[in-house]
Structure 1
């Protein structure tokens, strides 16, 4: 019977004796079927940023590995501390007992004279009567408006009094026009009401 046929990939793998090299698959950001537009450009930008960051990280790791292979260098802070220590030692000078020139000049100067006391102020003479001067009262900014308001108030009160008087006359006239028990008019009462009305009109 004929030998069973194997797959092409298995055949090549057995013959070569080495495993086939796997092709690295690229990564994707966002859906693959986006139309050309804002969202697609945004995903492409994100992908390019990620690739750039990965490259920088890889380059940094490479440089760091080279430095480690060369030897363990001291950190930047240790170097700075050493340099500061050296400069401090160089700059340190022995303290001298001599005074500063400015201090010497201050000590040699004579003491300043005390400032003269200010002359006392002359006291005000008290007023003869001991009272404040009579001044005219300041005119208020709203004097005119207050006068107008007062006039309006007086006019309103006069109108109110007039209305009340008319109402009283009307009621008195209604009472006077009522007939007496025999059905006759009360002319005396009507005349009194008319007389009071005429007097009020003449008085106005």
Structure 2
């Protein structure tokens, strides 16, 4: 039998050594067989966000490594703290001097304070509002007004009826002849005059 031929993977450039240096395919988010639509776009967005975050982390790590290598790892917070400390020192130097008006007030001799006149007590806003507040209208105010109007109208009709009745009685009394059989024109005229006054007035 003939000797076996050695495999290319053992000796050649595309052998097992190349197999250990396999190129990575990347990573996947969600199932690979999603149809084009809402869910696929959502998974693609998640994947792009993850890639962006990884890039930011990588850039941050690079910058941090550079600062550590340079020997002065300082955060932005430390820089601001140093600036604030310098500003505080300047402020303290300035604040030791007194203002001229303050110095003049301190140099004045002390005077007995006069009691301030007490201001007259003003009513509070709530009290003023309470005084101005009108009584709450009744829930049946319209109905009560209508009932009042009806009462007045009924009273007016009753008075008119009574006045007419009185005129009729006066007229019948005035039309009766006197003891001699003659008409009483004076009585008739007063009855007619009162009737005319009622109609006009």
- How does the TM-score come out when normalised to structure 1? 0.44
- Radius of gyration: which is bigger? 1
- How does the TM-score come out when normalised to structure 2? 0.45
